[in-house]
Amino acid sequence: MLGSVFHALGDSTRRQMLRDLAHGGRTVTQLAEPFTISLAAASKHIKVLENAALVRREIRGRTHLCHLNPGPLASAHEWLGFYEQFWTDRLDVLERLLRDADADPPTHDGDDT
Whichever domain contains 43, its CATH number is 1.10.10.10
> Is 80 inside a domain boundary?
no
pLDDT at res. 49:
97
Answer whether residue 112 shows pLDDT above 90. Answer: no
Q: Are 67 and 55 in contact (CB under 8 A)?
A: yes
- List the domain range (segments joined by +) for residue 16: 2-69
- Per-residue CA distances from 7 to 3, 24, 56, 98, 101 (Å): 6, 23, 17, 38, 43
Answer whether residue 18 shows pLDDT above 90. Answer: yes
Give the DSSP letter of residue 34. T
pLDDT at res. 85:
86
> Is 96 inside a domain boundary?
no
pLDDT at res. 41:
95
- Per-residue CA distances from 5 to 11, 64, 91, 110 (Å): 11, 22, 28, 61
How many domains, the chain?
1
Give pLDDT tens digits for 68-86: 999 999 989 998 898 888 8
> Is 16 inside a domain boundary?
yes
> Is 75 inside a domain boundary?
no
CA-nearest of 57, 52, 40, 41 to 7 is 52
> Is 48 inside a domain boundary?
yes
Give pLDDT tens digits for 97-107: 898 888 876 66
Phi, psi dihedral angles at 41 (to 5 degrees):
-65, -40
